[in-house]
Amino acid sequence: MVETRVVIISGDLVEQKVDAIVNAANNDLQLGGGVAGAIRRAGGPSIQDECDAHGPVRVGEAAITQAGRLPARFVIHAASMAFGGRTSRSSLKSSMDHVFRLAQQNDVSTIAVPAVGTGIAGFPIDECARVMAESLNNSLSAGWQVSEVRFVLFGEDSKHAFETAFWHVFRPSA
């Protein structure tokens, strides 16, 4: 059995050298601003082309694409909101469950995850951290074997919120 290392850092998601990064996506899979825009700019147009072939998906689902010019192999798009909409607890939980299922199905052993839904979608960072901890714990309990899950956050306040939420479930390495 693989022991999972959970890492919580402040950093740039698109620079992570992992098997997959997670995109905070809308259900149309349009890579506009925020995390999705950074992925589009750094990864190139092939990611949007694959998103166009996959999308739209339902809110609460996820889709996987290649990662273009990014150092990751895949981008897993967590559709926690409709285009122009807001993220809810249930849509975030469902989309992250789908993300972790796709990661398992595609033999992802290292994954980098942002605070999905906390930007333009307006979801509170503290609640996001709790949902992420719950979803990851459920996926690991169901048998997902992953060597590292890295939560890559923007700023120390977000990092602190995740450290607090994860403390009783996981022991952060950073």
Domains of the chain in sequence order = 5-166 (3.40.220.10)
Per-residue pLDDT at 167: 83
Asked if pLDDT for residue 58 goes beyond 90, the answer is yes
Measure the CA–CA gap between 117 and 121, rounded to whole angstroms.
5
Per-residue pLDDT at 171: 55
Q: Which two tokens stand for residue 104?
A: 């398992």
- The mean pLDDT of 65-73, rounded to a whole number, is 98
Asked if pLDDT for residue 110 goes beyond 70, the answer is yes
pTM of the model: 0.94
3 Cα distance to chain centroid: 20
Measure the CA–CA gap between 23 and 38, rounded to whole angstroms.
10
Measure the CA–CA gap between 118 and 158, rounded to whole angstroms.
10
Q: Is residue 170 very low, low, confident or very high in pLDDT (cuts 50, 70, 90)?
A: low
- The mean pLDDT of 12-37, rounded to a whole number, is 96
Q: Which two tokens stand for residue 21?
A: 């990064």
